[in-house]
Amino acid sequence: MSNKRFFKALKSSMELNELYSDRARLLQLCNSGNAYAINSYIDNIAKKYPLETAIYHAIHYMPPTTLRERVQNCISFLDGFIQAKKCELTFEMAKEINNV
């Protein structure tokens, strides 16, 4: 495996781990019931991934009206982002296997 591909795969796996951590933290906050902390964390996620958030909101143009809907939208966003990162990582690994 070339160094460039190795580091790209490593970066993708680290981003995937961070997304899983964000999702777990959001669920933990939901269980605590602290509405301010939940809203703050969702805002931080939106700031962390501005491009992806903009694309998600362009596709899902109905804004949430309740905290529950906001949490569901954020979890849906993170799940979709996790799936995209998994596909990206799988594609990189498949390219490497075919080159060997």
DSSP the chain: --HHHHHHHHHHHHHHHHHHHHHHHHHHHHHHT-HHHHHHHHHHHHHHSHHHHHHHHHHS-S---SHHHHHHHHHHHHHHHHHHHHHHHHHHHHHHHHH-
- pLDDT tens across the length of the chain (100 residues): 567 777 777 777 888 899 999 999 999 999 998 999 999 999 999 999 999 889 888 888 888 899 999 999 999 999 999 999 888 888 877 877 777 5
